[in-house]
Amino acid sequence: EVIEESLDMIAAGGFGYIRQMFGWFEIEPEEDVFTDRDGNSTWEKFDLIVDLAVERDIEIIARLEKPPRWARWGQEDIDEYPDGPPNNIEDWTNYIELVVERYKGKVKYFEIWNEPNLEGEWGGFPIDPTGYVELLEAASETIQRVDPKAVILLAGLAPTEQRGPDNLSDLLFLQEVYDAGGAEYFDIVTAMVYG
């Protein structure tokens, strides 16, 4: 009901897009498990959001991110930094393939990660534009294979003037993404404007 009311207000306001997180930790809380503790499908919420948005001609920008703990097993400071890159690229691409395949024809836009230039979104590790490009490349190739009509967005970068290692300026991070060859793996650069 709240989702429906929210989407009604968004449509009435003339907005044509929403940015919706499809958190990997929510979809696959345990490896190869797609139900919650009560036995309900973890896809249920996302199916509802997608269907209600499609009914209202609202495009979804699906934000792909937030690996579950099992995909980051053994990483230090996982309790302090619950968001960070997965250990295994294949686990990452399996999750992405599932999302893109499930919503093919309904969701066209996919944003890869969120604010990877911030320590809190990168697992407490030193900021690593090249590491982000590796995730971006794997995601991009998977998405294009499953749905060649999909549009891929670079992660929204947080505005900051810091120069690392904890946080890195969005402009410096973007330059390093280009320097690492990342330009061929996305269609649109996104920007966060809360700075």
Does residue 195 have a pLDDT over 60?
no
What pLDDT is attached to residue 164? 81
The CA distance from 118 to 123, in Å, is 9
Query: What average pLDDT does range 4-32 have in this prediction?
Result: 96
Query: What average pLDDT does range 76-96 have in this prediction?
Result: 95
Does residue 108 have a pLDDT over 80?
yes
> What is the token pair recorded at 125?
């590790």
Query: What average pLDDT does range 175-192 have in this prediction?
Result: 96
Q: Residue 1: which pLDDT band, with cuts at 50, 70 and 90?
A: confident
pTM for this model (two decimals): 0.95
Does residue 8 have a pLDDT over 60?
yes
The CA distance from 6 to 11, in Å, is 9
Average pLDDT for the chain: 96
What pLDDT is attached to residue 34? 97
> What is the token pair recorded at 128?
């690593």
Dihedral sign computed on CA atoms, order 70, 152, 9, 4: negative
Does residue 106 have a pLDDT over 90?
yes
Q: Which helix (H) or strand (E) holds 46?
A: helix 44-55
